[in-house]
Amino acid sequence: MATAKKPAAKAAATPTVKTPTKAAKPAAKPATKPAAKPAPKKAPVPKTAKAIAKVSASIAKLTERKDKLGAEIKALRDQRAALKAAPVAVAAPAAKPAAKAAKK
């Protein structure tokens, strides 16, 4: 017959030694002031944020150009409508004197 091994005896043979990982810090002196801190650096801006800002600026420029062109087109349409209406107004008074001349 086989005898059972005793795992507890083996575990007891290798004791573990705990070593402190951090040394205890001494208490800070309250009388001393800390050294002046350097100015904080700017937070890094991700590439996507920069790309989004660039595209937004381009869209703003294009929108401004579109609005200018729209205003110019509207002005030209108004001018065209005024030119179309002007000959009708001028032709009516010219017809009256011609009719008067024919009656005489």
Domain boundaries, given as residue ranges, for the chain: 46-104
Q: What is the pLDDT of residue 86?
A: 75
Q: 18 or 47: which carries more pLDDT confidence?
A: 47
Q: 58 or 5: which carries more pLDDT confidence?
A: 58
Q: What is the pLDDT of residue 67?
A: 97
Q: List the alpha helices (DSSP H) in the chain.
A: 7-13, 47-103
Per-residue pLDDT of 30-87, as tens digits, reads: 556 666 676 767 767 788 999 999 999 999 999 999 999 999 999 999 999 999 987 6
Q: 59 or 96: which carries more pLDDT confidence?
A: 59
